[in-house]
Structure 1
Amino acid sequence: MARLADYFVVVGYDLDNRVEGEGQGRILQRFPEKDWEDSPFPQGVELFCQPSGWQLVPERHPASFFVAVLTDINSERHYCACFTFWESLDNPQNKAGEADEADEDLAVIQPAKVFAPKSLVLVSRLDYTEAFRNCLGLIYTIHVDGLSTTLETVIGNLLTCVIPIAGGSQRTITLGAGDRQVIQTPINDSLPVSGCSVAQLFRQLGIVNVLYLFCAALTEHKILFLSSSYQRLTDACRGLLAIMFPLKYSFTYVPILPGKLLEVLSTPTPFIIGVNSFFRSETQELLDVIIADLDGGTITIPECVHISLLPEPLLQQTQTALSMVKKTVVKNLLMNAGKS
């Protein structure tokens, strides 16, 4: 048995701490406050809540959800599910006496209200994306709509919920707010929990490109995923690891790399990393990195990189088998769509 979630964290914009003009995140609340002996609290959570940087914006952005992955010193992975919403606050640049005389004209055109991000975060050693999405969505709904159930009750039930690590059983859980959700445990804890990530990876990049990435990962090359969607980055990295099973990837694995840590891309060791396409220009000078553009459906292989593909006839047999699977999946989807 294992805890569904080890920590619940609220991370917000730090109005009192700006470094070189850039906003910072700050942990506002954390439960439990004391570290578990078997799972210390991972450092740097606030960086991964806003990978593109903590910023104030003039208009409210829609709420978003994604799962980042942090790896501790013992190579244990911690899944950080982040639900981010935006709260209105008075523009700090309009505070009396803050702008000097030279900036008076600029200060006049500043909006009276701005919106700051706030993230609800679950930290877990288990990978249950949909369960985390549902739990954080429920907590957000209680916070916004003021339901009769208290947040303390829901968070307490969440942090004390334990489920089997494996066995293939279904576990129905409730957080005490009239909710019910079913968690399907894997048959074996060594099997990857891939969900739809493998199918999405093939759909986004195509069979040939995915086979290139598969062989690149097996031969210890550097692989970088680009996308404007954080969850798409996580799913792509998860899908690539899944098709490598039963082999286990032991190099640097960061599905969502914060912008402040882009220097990691210059490491001499192999990696599988995801970066928001907002930082595309910073990746142009990487001469030994294979770049997979999930939004454009392409991969770029530098001239100095040689990827050893599967030998024939295995390569052709694999492509044929995958094409047949793809056709079957599409056919089933069309049939189901026709019935609905």
Structure 2
Amino acid sequence: MTTRENVVSSRLSKLMISSGSGNGSGSGPNIQVAPSSTLVQSPTSPGEQSQSQSELNQLKRDADPQFSRFADYFVICGLDLDTGLEPDRFAGDNLHCSPLDRAYKSKPLAHYPENVPWNPFDAHGICMLSLPQGLRFRTQKHSIEPRFHSFATTREDGKRCYGFSLVFYEEIRNRNICGAIHTLQSMFITELSNGQQTHSLSRVKQDGPVSRSLPRHFKVAGQAPQSAQSYYDINKDKLYVAKSITLICQAPYAFAAQMFLKNLYRCLPRQPGAGISLESYVYNILYEVMLPQPGKSIRVYLPPTEPHLPPIALILQRPLLATELPLLDFPLRLLFKYLGVECVIQLLTCVLLENQVLLRSTDYQRLMIVGECITSLLFPFVWPHVYAPILPAALHHFLDAPVPFVMGLHAECEAAHKIGSEATLCFVDIDKKHIQLPEELPVFPHKVDFMAEIGSVLDKFEIERDRDQEPSFRNGYMGRGAGGGVSGSGSSGAGGVDAMISSCTLPTGLQAARRSKERFHQMQETVYTLAGSPGGGVVDYQPLIAHPSRIDHVPRIADFLRRKGGIRGAGSPVGSPTVSLSSSPVGIYHDVDAVDATMPVSTRRAEKQKLSPVDQYYQDLRINNSVREIFLNRFVHMFHAYEYFVIYPNQARDEWISNRETLQNFDKSSFLSDQPEHHRAFLSRFLESQMFATLIDNKILAMWESHPDEQLQLFDQRVKLLRRRHGENMIAATSYEPCVLSQDSQQGFEKRLNCIDIEVTPPSEILANRAAYFRSFPLLEKGVLNQECASSSPPASPPPAHPSTPSTSSSSPLRNPH
């Protein structure tokens, strides 16, 4: 990273702006979604439970809370009535806007606990990202539905923590605040009518339909009727102000945080009734919910959708770092739904080549999802530059920095329109499904085949998306031949067109979801022959392409694979390795008609039913795994021989580290000479990237370190598996080989989902006397939320046990479900 980049990143870190990424595990498409109710384990006997609780209590005492707690802080941000209205000086000059269009200064009203030593509380940074548009006022004419978004902060020590915020609007009953807005409104109208205002009224961008009625005495000549939303009548309108509740966490479990915040807001008692206090739910998430260890899972209980209902069970799992991709809790399903396969590959190409990338949307969560998902697809590479998927208005000047970045701006920001016209920038308008590419962008190797494979997995999961620009499988996998089977290149076909394209606009209308049998039949055009390698006993996968109308034995081969579950290599002796249907390369190209025919009718109907949010979350993790394995498979094939071109030093570690900026660590020219000519345009630029240089540095450092980089270890493991299949002397393949490991990597996830390691007790009442109801979200009791012993004593009036909620007699928050 250059000195200039270090300065920019340091500033962003201090201002808590860099947003985080996560990674997760998903699945093969043929796995059935288990209903949540089937995951409840039978209660253990009292003796077993007592012993397991003793062990778990000891585990909790020994665990470092920095790495074991789910959440560090619960924060409430909003309007401080003691200080009143203050303009947001970071929002720029907005006096030309009506008072309802201006941003005001928000403050943290409360946070629990007061402080944790491993993550000092940063009031300004958290408040700025919890309410990235500042404090806004609305009336009943606006859309005031709660909105969720996630973000992340980078501390000064370089460590990253994550934030999840729910923004909602509450009615203002304070006469001083209402009077202040009314006074500002009157001043604004006076200046407007006197001609002193040179700017026209800014129309409030609405998130949804609003009422356009305007009180008669507020109609100003020359103003459009849409301006009515910008006016506040103190005698007729209700005034609402933004407030946020936020969780600050160490790990990006976005779905659990979203469900917690949304349901906690719904559990706010607005009338007397059954339920437990808000403090009880917050205490549970702060002190009783633990993060799962690598390769483990934990069942937690989150607030219900209504106060009188039992808590909702959710399983959190964490991949095993040695064999699985890192955690990704953001759904790749939405990334492809927002942009489509074509634009995702183009965006990935821009990120890999370290271009400046600017995202734009009216929804902050969309910005975060696209940023998190596209950076997770870089694995085993890591984005090393400025990363701020949500860039608040106070930091828009960072867009002028001449360094690579991935940043996101709200669509209302004027800077998004100005900067989006620059030719050297990759500009992505998520809402309009439009991407503007930098000039002379090379084509990703095997792009057409790559898109086709991704499309096949998305079709398996029946994911809605734009399909018009996706290649058909007839234009997909090219066979081995004299021409090298070029696809996705600038020489011919779709790749030739892509080499000249500078932008891609997707259709605005999303096509209706459909399950095309023809696309699945086209998948069967790829037939894999298994032959023994020269080394003997090693299975070699060679894709052969032909249309079924010209290969009459394709159905017989597919039928043989289904009946036998495996096939021996041609000429292989008895006892040579076989490939089962579940792990073979045809595993993701099963005969769909045959699978559907053997599936019970009730199961097929259940599959097509809408999933519950929890089951959809589990399914999204499966999708994440299948798609990410495809991307990792591309990098494994692209760099399967990279180790042979690493230039290892003959000096000591410290000496090499001090001089590594001036040393050549990778033989780029020799590596490129072994690559197909039509791939060199992309590879030659990628080999110069900071991401690739960091991977090579980590490879060299592994010589001296007992615990090498975990991402590098997993990547090297996959390279070894590929060599084992093809032989150590394999050369760069000119044809396309799809991913064969997605279902193997899925097994660990399914095991964690069905065999829970730890279960957290559901929230229980911690207040002796709780308030019957509230008009607005209140400040909580500090006495019980600033310490971890609040639940050590039994509640005064415990809520009745619910049949679906396991109950325990111990005060410990952890128990063994087995």
The reply to whether TM is greater than 0.5 is yes
Question: What is the CA-CA distance between 1:326 and the residue it aligns to?
Answer: 3.0
2:747 maps to none
1:13 matched to 2:13? The reply is: no
Structure 2: distance between partners of 1:137 and 1:126? 19
Question: What is the CA-CA distance between 1:137 and the residue it aligns to?
Answer: 2.2
Structure 1: distance between partners of 2:239 and 2:352? 47
1:291 matched to 2:430? The reply is: no
2:345 partner SS? helix
Indicate the larger mover: 260-269 or 316-325: 316-325
Indicate the larger mover: 136-145 or 126-135: 136-145
Question: What is the CA-CA distance between 1:175 and the residue it aligns to?
Answer: 6.5
- 1:84-104 alpha-carbon deviations (Å, 9 max, x no partner): 1111115757538x949x849
Question: What is the CA-CA distance between 1:337 and the residue it aligns to?
Answer: 7.9
1:23 maps to 104
Indicate the larger mover: 219-228 or 9-18: 9-18
Q: 1:77 aligns with which of 128, 143, 160?
A: 160
1:300 maps to 436
1:268 maps to 402
- Identify if the C-alpha distance between structure 1 residues 79 and 338 changes in structure 2 by more than 3 Å, giving closer, same or farther: closer
Structure 2: distance between partners of 1:242 and 1:94? 46
One-letter identity of the residue aligned with 2:179: K
Of all paired residues, the percent bearing the same amino acid is: 23
Q: 2:444 aligns with which of 310, 313, 331?
A: 310
1:194 maps to 328
- Identify if the C-alpha distance between structure 1 residues 339 and 240 changes in structure 2 by more than 3 Å, giving closer, same or farther: closer
1:153 maps to 280
- Identify if the C-alpha distance between structure 1 residues 38 and 209 changes in structure 2 by more than 3 Å, giving closer, same or farther: same
Question: What is the CA-CA distance between 1:339 and the residue it aligns to?
Answer: 4.5
Structure 2 unmatched ranges of 5 or more: 1-66, 90-94, 96-102, 192-216, 219-231, 464-512, 516-603, 610-818
C-alpha contact 2:104 2:136 (8 A) present in aligned 1? yes
Question: What is the root-mean-square deviation of aligned Cα atoms in Å?
Answer: 3.1
Structure 1 unmatched ranges of 5 or more: none
- 1:119-149 alpha-carbon deviations (Å, 9 max, x no partner): 0000101111121112112321233436541
1:37 maps to 117
- Identify if the C-alpha distance between structure 1 residues 106 and 165 changes in structure 2 by more than 3 Å, giving closer, same or farther: farther
TM-score by length of 1: 0.86
1:207 matched to 2:341? The reply is: yes
Q: Which has the higher strand share?
A: 1
Structure 2: distance between partners of 1:316 and 1:243? 18
- Identify if the C-alpha distance between structure 1 residues 286 and 48 changes in structure 2 by more than 3 Å, giving closer, same or farther: farther
Q: 2:246 aligns with which of 121, 129, 134?
A: 121
1:56 maps to 137
- Identify if the C-alpha distance between structure 1 residues 333 and 194 changes in structure 2 by more than 3 Å, giving closer, same or farther: farther
- 1:178-198 alpha-carbon deviations (Å, 9 max, x no partner): 313223212235834334632
One-letter identity of the residue aligned with 2:433: G
Structure 1 runs of 4+ with >6 Å offset: none
Structure 2: distance between partners of 1:193 and 1:106? 56
Q: 1:235 aligns with which of 355, 369, 372?
A: 369
Structure 2: distance between partners of 1:41 and 1:333? 49
- Identify if the C-alpha distance between structure 1 residues 134 and 327 changes in structure 2 by more than 3 Å, giving closer, same or farther: closer
C-alpha contact 1:142 1:151 (8 A) present in aligned 2? yes
1:133 maps to 258
C-alpha contact 2:292 2:298 (8 A) present in aligned 1? no
One-letter identity of the residue aligned with 1:264: F
Larger radius of gyration: 2
- Identify if the C-alpha distance between structure 1 residues 200 and 137 changes in structure 2 by more than 3 Å, giving closer, same or farther: closer
TM-score by length of 2: 0.38
Q: Number of paired residues?
A: 334
- 1:226-282 alpha-carbon deviations (Å, 9 max, x no partner): 111111111111110121112122212212111222112222221112211112334
2:117 partner SS? coil
Question: What is the CA-CA distance between 1:286 and the residue it aligns to?
Answer: 4.4
C-alpha contact 2:164 2:246 (8 A) present in aligned 1? yes
Structure 2: distance between partners of 1:210 and 1:152? 42
Structure 2: distance between partners of 1:137 and 1:181? 15
Structure 2: distance between partners of 1:308 and 1:336? 45
One-letter identity of the residue aligned with 2:69: R
